[in-house]
Amino acid sequence: MNLFEILIPVGIFLVTLIIGFILRKIIIIRLKRLAAHTKTQVDDIVIDAVKSPLMIWVLMLAIYLALEFSKLPDNLVNIIGKLLLVLGIFSVTFVLANIAGKMIVIYSAKIDSALPVTSLTQNISRIIIFSIGILIILNSLGIAITPILATLGVGGLAVALALQDTLSNLFSGFHIAAARQIKVGDYIKLDSGEEGYVTDINWRSTKIRMLPNNVVLVPNEKLTKAIVTNFYLPDKEMAVLINLGVHYKSDLEKVEKITCAVAKEIMKEVVGGVPEFDPFIRYHTFADSSINFTVILRAREFVDQYLIKHEFIKKLHKRYTQEGLNIPFPIRAINYEQEGAK
């Protein structure tokens, strides 16, 4: 092989690479300009997904054209051609997996009946696409995939027996995601006492971020068997109950009027309150030293109740003091005559 026979493939490779790089840049810029004028996000997702692999495709084209004008042995050209084919299929599979993952994130939030967005649903979609891509690669290389699938079917039984706990958590994760009774972002409380925001549902466990900002990992199988209180179902708004008591000599009509007025102010002033809600009270107990009642307010979501209670207690205590209403200390009366009779 002389120098001229070497320079031609190298020159074709470099020219193709440079032209491809320039065209790639121009195409990406124009596609982004067109995508900026559309309302759908599909074109943005596709552009972001193909931006990096496009350079790989240019490189593959440059290598292919260089091989066409080279004097390399046929067996070496065939090997390189098969490698390019594998690389091409894999890169397309990678692009499709990325597009599928981002499409799930964007559009599942818009469709109530869709499977919720978790790392489990995103990873499963990628695994399915990559599995199909691998089967296509094997078939393109002339490897029969039917015996492989049969072997996987037989081997799958042994794997399933060996990974019972893992598979149990995996399918439990699917059940949690599909049932939509527990979703990412919900505030839940388990019967074992743990409570917090659900941040993710993966193939093994569900992540719960507690209010102190630590994370609890609950195996999916245990979560499906636990008694769970979801504070976001049927909706985020919830009643805030505050138990109080006033002296037996208090004017209960006045107590009710003042308490409801203060509660209404809190609903309008405090962030997280529901301004349109009319608070009310219910007397319920003749206690040892007071007549007890419950004040019912309303919060937009679970964590808002803490600030509402805080501000309500401060403001109500101040108002009771101004109005001369007494919240008595616990009192125990002793009947000396009855004690002496014993």
Q: pLDDT of 14-50, one tens digit each?
A: 888 888 888 888 888 888 888 777 777 777 778 888 8
- Residue 337 resides in a domain: no
Residues linked to residue 192 through DSSP beta bridges, in sequence order: none
Q: How far apart are CA 7 and CA 12, in angstroms?
A: 8
Exposure string for 123-136, b = 16+ CB within 10 A, e = fewer: ebbbeebeeebeeb
212 & 271 share domain: no
Mean pLDDT of 318-331: 86
Predicted structure pTM score: 0.60
Residue 303: band (very low, low, confident or very high) from pLDDT cuts 50, 70, 90: very high
What mean pLDDT, rounded, does the chain reach?
Answer: 82
Candidates 295, 308, 310, 290; CA nearest to 259 is: 295
Q: What is the pLDDT of residues 232-278, one digit of tens each?
A: 988 899 999 999 999 999 999 999 999 999 999 999 999 999 999 99
> Per-residue pLDDT for 133 more than 90?
no
List the domain range (segments joined by +) for residue 274. Answer: 238-323
218 & 272 share domain: no
Q: How confident is the model at residue 5, as a pLDDT?
A: 65
Show Cβ contacts of residue 127 under 8 Å, excluding neighbours closer than 6 positions: none
272 & 225 share domain: no
CATH code at position 189: 2.30.30.60
- Residue 272 resides in a domain: yes
242 & 225 share domain: no
Q: How confident is the model at residue 56, as a pLDDT?
A: 84
Q: How far apart are CA 124 and CA 303, in angstroms?
A: 33
Q: What is the pLDDT of residues 73-131, one digit of tens each?
A: 777 878 888 888 888 888 888 888 888 777 776 666 555 545 556 666 667 777 788 88
Q: How confident is the model at residue 1, as a pLDDT?
A: 52
Residue 295: band (very low, low, confident or very high) from pLDDT cuts 50, 70, 90: very high
Residue 272: left if φ>0, alpha if ψ -120 to 50, beta else—which one? Answer: left
Mean pLDDT of 141-161: 62
Show Cβ contacts of residue 183 under 8 Å, excluding neighbours closer than 6 positions: 116, 198, 232
Residue 154: band (very low, low, confident or very high) from pLDDT cuts 50, 70, 90: low
Q: How confident is the model at residue 152, as a pLDDT?
A: 60
145 & 183 share domain: no
Q: How far apart are CA 302 and CA 318, in angstroms?
A: 26
287 & 198 share domain: no
- Residue 100 resides in a domain: yes
252 & 318 share domain: yes
Show Cβ contacts of residue 336 under 8 Å, excluding neighbours closer than 6 positions: none
65 & 198 share domain: no
Q: How far apart are CA 195 and CA 212, in angstroms?
A: 10
Q: How far apart are CA 50 and CA 57, in angstroms?
A: 10
245 & 304 share domain: yes
CB 109 within 8 Å of CB 41:
no
- Residue 159 resides in a domain: no
Last residue of a domain, one of 119, 153, 187: 153
Candidates 282, 310, 312; CA nearest to 294 is: 282
266 & 304 share domain: yes
- Indicate the range of 96-110, 163-177, 312-326 predicted with least confidence: 96-110
Tell me which DSSP letter residue 110 carries.
T
- Residue 331 resides in a domain: no
Sign (positive/negative) of CA torsion 288, 290, 293, 298? negative
Q: How far apart are CA 185 and CA 109, in angstroms?
A: 12
59 & 109 share domain: yes
Distances (CA, A) of 233 to 195, 237, 271, 298: 15, 9, 21, 15
Sheet holding 238-246, edge to edge: 238-246, 291-299, 280-286
119 & 222 share domain: no
CB 138 within 8 Å of CB 148:
yes
**Number of neighbouring beta carbons within 10 Å of residue 170:** 18
Residue with tokens 């009192």: 331
> Into how many domains does the chain fold?
3
Residues linked to residue 240 through DSSP beta bridges, in sequence order: 297
Q: How far apart are CA 84 and CA 89, in angstroms?
A: 9
Q: How far apart are CA 221 and CA 235, in angstroms?
A: 25
CB 238 within 8 Å of CB 186:
no
Pairing of strands 215-219, 205-209: antiparallel
- Which residue type, as a one-letter code, is found at position 86? V
Residues linked to residue 283 through DSSP beta bridges, in sequence order: 293
- Residue 135 resides in a domain: yes
Q: How confident is the model at residue 74, as a pLDDT?
A: 76
Helix axes 304-323, 252-269, angle to 10 degrees: 140
Q: How confident is the model at residue 55, as a pLDDT?
A: 83
Last residue of a domain, one of 184, 212, 230: 230
- Which residue type, as a one-letter code, is found at position 295? V
The gap from C-alpha 294 to its chain's centroid, in whole angstroms, comes to 36
Q: What is the pLDDT of residues 212-227, one digit of tens each?
A: 999 999 999 899 999 9
